[in-house]
Amino acid sequence: MIYVMSDIHGMYRKYKKMLELIGFSDDDTLYMIGDVIDRGDEPIQILQDMMQRQNVIPLLGNHELMALNALSVISEFIDSSGFLTDESLEFNKDYLLWQMNGCRTTLEGLGKLDTEQRREIIGYMRGFALHKTVSVGKNTFVLVHAGFEDFSKERSFDDYMPDELVWCRHIPDERYSDDDNVFVVTGHTPVQKFTGKPYILHKNNNIFIDCGACMIGGKLACVRLDDFMEYYV
Ligand SMILES: [Mn+2]
């Protein structure tokens, strides 16, 4: 079976509960479509768990992109409480952007690791894909963190810049394909913004799966592509 989750944002216990709920096994595949880190308390624990599993396929979110941009400069200067040891680096613009977006728990987690472990985590995030296309039965699923900014059918998915794929605000009214068997699965924008409720939203062959795992009243959602079964923790 093939599963998709997004926007776990450091909620390690919800992640573990979800793996249990879906009965995730070595025969299954899980696509994690971005924003594993920041906000919630245990982002590094989730990454470390994912790294051990060959059948978890990670995609980049805007939070991982912010982290990678900032960490390319600051990773050597994090102390065990997640503080930067060289204050001049606080004026680094990538770091400031990341700081405004809830980096604290990720920095704290990285600060507790030794240099080698930290390098492994950063290297792992560098390998995150920008988008994936998955065929399941007669259906095709395009997986991407946020959507395709300035979408055009003439443009190949590989022609988009990372920022366009991880930051844009995909709206339910937009339709990406005329083919009824092609679906676009995104996270990034909590469905509460559209419906007010923490449940996966299907519209125009778009599947919005960010149900706000780290928000009050939010849920971690997971969709099974084989049969569109939905799971919530
Ligand atoms: Mn996001």
Domain residues of the chain, as ranges?
Answer: 2-60+127-232, 63-126
Q: Which residues surround ligand 1, an ion (CB under 5 A)?
A: 35, 61-62, 188
Distance separating alpha carbons of residues 107 and 113, to the nearest angstrom: 10
**Alpha carbon of 148 to those of 14, 69, 141, 186: distances in Å?**
28, 21, 14, 10
Q: Which backbone phi and psi does 172 adopt, to 5 degrees?
A: -60, -25
pTM for the full model? 0.96
CA of 10 to the centre of ligand 1 (A): 13
CA of 165 to the centre of ligand 1 (A): 10
Distance separating alpha carbons of residues 143 and 57, to the nearest angstrom: 11
CA of 53 to the centre of ligand 1 (A): 23
Q: What is the mean pLDDT of residues 224-228?
A: 98
Distance separating alpha carbons of residues 147 and 36, to the nearest angstrom: 17
Assign 168 a pLDDT band (cuts: 50, 70, 90): very high
SS3 133: strand
Per-residue pLDDT reduced to its tens digit, 26-44: 999 999 999 999 999 999 9
Strand partners, 203: 206
Assign 20 a pLDDT band (cuts: 50, 70, 90): very high
Assign 77 a pLDDT band (cuts: 50, 70, 90): confident
3-state DSSP of 35-98? CCCCCCCCHHHHHHHHHCCCCEEEECCHHHHHHHHHHHHHHHHECCCCCECCHHHHHCHHHHHH
Per-residue pLDDT reduced to its tens digit, 126-166: 999 999 999 999 999 999 999 999 999 999 999 999 999 99
Residue 40 tokens read as 């919630």
CA of 65 to the centre of ligand 1 (A): 10
CA of 34 to the centre of ligand 1 (A): 7
Q: What is the mean pLDDT of residues 63-78?
A: 92
| 84 pLDDT higher than 90 | no
CA of 63 to the centre of ligand 1 (A): 6
CA of 188 to the centre of ligand 1 (A): 4
Assign 110 a pLDDT band (cuts: 50, 70, 90): very high
CA of 160 to the centre of ligand 1 (A): 17
Question: Average per-residue pLDDT in the chain?
Answer: 95
Domain 2-60+127-232 fold: Purple Acid Phosphatase; chain A, domain 2 (3.60.21)
CA atoms within 13 A of residue 133's CA, in its CB half-sphere: 7
Distance separating alpha carbons of residues 199 and 230, to the nearest angstrom: 9
